[in-house]
């Protein structure tokens, strides 16, 4: 089975809403394997790895917490578990990085990457995605696309300028039950709609002033803050 980069991105998009189940082929050549890097090895990053199509292999992972990377890369650690269904799940061949800019440098190396999955905190989305596009990679970006409208415009311009593919992981856009409901309503199944009630989720909650404490877990806190204002570190 051969997946183009566009097909790969589509498959990962579906995986955010439902689990992809597929058996790896017994034989795969290097020419039909899509090599991806994963930026952000928290719960979401590992979940997406576990739902990749069988013709995709993870060539590099990144997280600003070095101890998280170390725990993931243990022989019996989380990485081995999420890649258990891969034919060539060999963690020893996976490069590790704390700074995603160094991971993106790998895209230009001989053993290059084809695409990148970005599952970082929100404030890194725009910068990481733009740098990945500039490195010649296709991008699967977790929601929200960006923090501001201006960032969204810059990202859209980068996609147009580079000609690469970018897909945003928005849940419940491709689920069969939701498609059925939309078609049912649009075809008049509910009759004439006279009232619609929607939940109104609050915005960011105010954060009280917290005393600074040493970073833990091998976190590079300057790197974590990235393009956001640098604040004193606190676990909360």
The mean predicted confidence, pLDDT, of the chain is 82
Q: pTM of the full predicted structure?
A: 0.75
Name residue 34's beta-bridge partners. Answer: 56
- Burial of residue 15, with CB atoms counted within 10 A of its CB: 0-12 exposed, 13-18 middle, 19 or more buried: buried
Give the pLDDT score at 86: 46
Superfamily of domain 7-18+31-169: NAD(P)-binding Rossmann-like Domain (3.40.50.720)
β-strands 56-62, 138-142: how paired? unpaired
Whole-number pLDDT of residue 56: 87
What share of the chain has pLDDT > 90, as a percent? 41
**Tens-digit pLDDT profile for residues 14-38:** 554 333 333 334 444 456 788 999 9
The token duo for 208 is: 């009280």
Please name which of 87, 92, 132 lies closest in space to residue 113, comparing C-alpha atoms.
132
What does the pLDDT read at residue 22? Answer: 38
User: Phi and psi dihedrals of 22, rounded to 5?
Assistant: -155, 145
Model confidence pLDDT, tens digit, residues 52-83 = 888 888 889 999 998 888 887 776 666 666 66
């Amino acid at each position: 089975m051969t997946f183009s980069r566009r097909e790969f991105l589509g498959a990962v998009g579906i995986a955010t809403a439902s689990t992809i189940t597929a058996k790896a082929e017994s034989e795969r050549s290097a020419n039909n394997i899509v090599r991806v890097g994963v930026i952000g090895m928290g719960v979401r990053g590992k979940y997406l790895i576990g739902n990749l199509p069988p013709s995709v292999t993870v060539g590099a992972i990144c997280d600003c917490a070095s101890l998280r990377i170390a725990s993931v890369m243990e022989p019996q650690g989380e990485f081995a578990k999420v890649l258990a269904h891969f034919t060539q799940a060999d963690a020893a061949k996976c490069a590790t990085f704390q700074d995603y800019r160094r991971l993106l440098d790998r895209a230009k190396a001989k053993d290059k990457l084809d695409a990148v999955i970005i599952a970082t905190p929100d404030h890194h989305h725009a910068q990481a995605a733009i740098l990945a596009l500039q490195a010649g990679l296709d991008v699967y970006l977790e929601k929200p696309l960006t923090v501001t409208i201006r960032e969204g415009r810059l990202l859209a311009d980068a996609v147009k300028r580079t000609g690469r593919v970018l897909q945003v992981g928005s849940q419940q856009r491709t689920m069969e039950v939701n498609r059925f409901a939309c078609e049912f309503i649009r075809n008049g199944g509910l009759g004439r709609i006279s009232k619609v009630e929607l939940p109104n989720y609050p915005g960011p909650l105010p954060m009280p002033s917290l005393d600074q404490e040493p970073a833990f877990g091998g976190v590079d806190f300057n790197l974590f803050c990235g393009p956001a204002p640098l604040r004193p570190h606190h676990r909360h």
